[in-house]
Amino acid sequence: MAAEPGRAPLSWRGWRLWPQSFTALWRESLQFRTVLITIGLSSFAILVIGAYLSFSVQANLFQSRLDQVLGASNRADIAAQRVLESSDAADRAAVQGVFSSARGLIETTSSSQYIALIRVPDQEASSIAPQDLVSPGLSSVLTPELRAQVQADRDGQFWQSVSLANDSGGADPGVVVGTQIEIPEAGRYELYLGYSFADADQTLRFVQLTGSIGAIALLIMLAVITLFVVRWVIDPIRQAALTSRRLAGGDLEVRMPEKGADELATLARSFNGMADSLQARIAELAELSVMQQRFVSDVSHELRTPLTTIRLAGDVLDAQRESFPPDTARTVELLHTQTERFELLLSDLLEISRYDAGSVTLALESTNLVQLAGDAIESMHTLAEQRGSDVRLVAPGGHFDSELDPRRIRRIVRNLLGNAIEHGEGRPIVVTVDSDEAAVALAVRDYGFGMTPEDAERVFDRFWRADPSRKRTIGGTGLGLAISLEDAVAHGGRLEVWSAPSLGSCFRLTLPRHAGDEIPSSPIPLPPEDAAGTATAVLDLIDSTGSVTTLDDEPSTRKGARDA
């Protein structure tokens, strides 16, 4: 099985990485899991069936051979007993001759090479009784239990499994069969015949070896067959995944090939139907988006002419406001204020429509962010004084020129300052500028009532307000932060927010030092360094550097950046 791209293949040199590689392969490859599970289950089934067959063959071979040797032993016993009973020997020599004849008959009839004739103990002594006869290798396997059974039953036949020595110095499985015979004038003797089961053992080993080889061959065939079948089944799934990625990448014309009428063909047809539906829906949404953008742009442009007329008339009336009665003067003042706000709203709508249409072009210039922040703070000084907020600039870094669009960055800073002044509850506001070798950043920190995590998630949404019942007091349009986010993304930067209820907020703008560069991290931490993790926010002081020390609880943070 070929290794998939991006995955390190298993090798002998990297054996320590085998567990991790195996785990990754198991998790990522359906084909590998299927083949491995099939081999595992098949191996278990073959092992169970093979063990059952092996035990069955072993039992049948043993029982068949046992029946054979028991029959042979019984025939030898009967033949020997007849010879002994037909003899009229009365002296030791004659009895010994009959004994030898019976022994030869037993060897011929039983085909056993292991014979033992042992006089049963506890009998009267006899001067003509032959001496005990035991074949080499048999005396050591005659157990007391077997001899006791044979001695206790004159007519019984008993057997016991033993290991018999062979000519090569090893041992073969076998059986010893014991019974009694009686020699006239000499008494009763224990007769033991040993039979080797080497031939049955060889047959069993051959069957087991053949079965093992067949099982291994079967497993290999199953693995190969499973591999090809799984590949055949998974290929359409891989094709569907590849097609999905191409669809996600914007290639709406790509489709899966449809072949046959089986389930895989049904999958392809269903997938292609879904792709057709998505393409139609995306085209419809794109058309609606274009219509919406055109509508916003057209309405904004169409409203500019009457708005300009109203603005001019309002300016004329505002210039003569002191000559009007108080009620009329107040009306003229409201008309002038709302006309300015309406004009600002139209400008923001036009700017948003340009971003939606993708027609924004940056006018990059060498810009010093510290100076730009200072100018923005100066322009907001009057408003900050009216709200009772003291705005301080802290700039440990950023004293160099970067490639920025100063108009858009100035708009971001003014929006962040205006937001901090409006929600800062008259407390100090700290603007921090810092930099590193890759980026320059600006953060606006206020100590107002802050936001919940849910509100922080939506703070960059268009026309969104955390408290709908709260009126805007500095003339915002509800699009400032949304436009600021778009301005930051257009520069390849990020605009992020940290906030906690009753502890204030911190907006951080991070921009690349050089246009088009990546930003690995921001020079300014977020949450801010004065977020110490306690439940109470305590504003201590603003020192000579303009730094602010607070203690606050666990903050909520939201990234407002999007991939450019």
pLDDT 10s digits, 477-513:
677 788 888 888 888 888 999 988 888 889 999 999 8
pLDDT band at 538 (very low <50, low <70, confident <90, very high): very low
Q: Are 332 and 314 in contact (CB under 8 A)?
A: yes
| pLDDT beyond 70 at 555 | no
What pLDDT, on a 0 to 100 scale, did the predictor assign at position 359?
66
Phi-psi region for residue 358, left (φ > 0), alpha (ψ -120 to 50) or beta?
Answer: left
* Assigned token pair, 30: 């359906």
Residue 213: its pLDDT value, please? Answer: 92
Q: H-type helices in 326-459, by residue range? A: 326-357, 369-379, 381-387, 406-423, 453-457
- In 3D, which of 176, 172, 175, 177 has the Cα closest to residue 199? 172
Report the 10 Å Cβ neighbour count for 165. 17
**What pLDDT, on a 0 to 100 scale, did the predictor assign at position 542?**
35
Q: What percent of the chain has pLDDT over 70?
A: 82
Rounded Cα gap, residues 36 and 434, in angstroms: 56
More confident residue, 473 or 108: 108
Signed CA dihedral, 498, 499, 500, 504: sign only:
positive
Distance in angstroms (rounded) separating the CA atoms of residues 268 and 50: 43
Shortest CA distance to 557 belongs to which of 467, 461, 451, 480? 451
Given this model, what pLDDT does residue 472 score? Answer: 54
pLDDT at 407 > cutoff 60: yes
Q: Is the pLDDT of residue 535 over 50?
A: no
CATH of 263-355, one of 1.10.3450.40, 1.10.287.130, 2.60.120.620, 2.120.10.30: 1.10.287.130
CATH 3.30.450.20 fits 27-249, yes or no: yes
pLDDT tens digits for range 163-202: 888 777 778 888 999 888 887 777 888 888 888 888 888 8
Q: Which of 320, 370, 379, 314 is nearest to 343 (CA)?
A: 314
pLDDT tens per residue, range 115-152: 888 888 888 777 777 888 888 878 888 888 988 888 88
The Cα 498–Cα 521 span in angstroms is: 16
**What is the reported pLDDT for 234?**
80
Domain ranges of the chain: 27-249, 263-355, 362-559
The CA distance from 349 to 479, in Å, is: 8
pLDDT band at 546 (very low <50, low <70, confident <90, very high): very low
pLDDT recorded at residue 440? 92
**Confidence category of residue 476, pLDDT binned at 50, 70, 90:** low
The CATH class of the 362-559 domain is alpha beta
**Model pLDDT for residues 202-235, shown as the tens digit of each residue:** 888 898 899 889 889 988 998 888 888 888 878 8
Neighbours of 288 (CB within 10 A): 10
Cα separation, 312 vs 328, in Å, equals 18
Distance from C-alpha of 538 to C-alpha of 532, rounded to nearest angstrom: 10
- Of the pLDDT bands very low, low, confident and very high (cuts 50, 70, 90), residue 563 is very low
Question: Over 60: is that where the pLDDT of 13 sits?
Answer: no
CA distance 65 to 68: 5
* Model confidence pLDDT, tens digit, residues 83-107: 777 776 666 677 777 777 777 777 7
DSSP state letter for 513: S
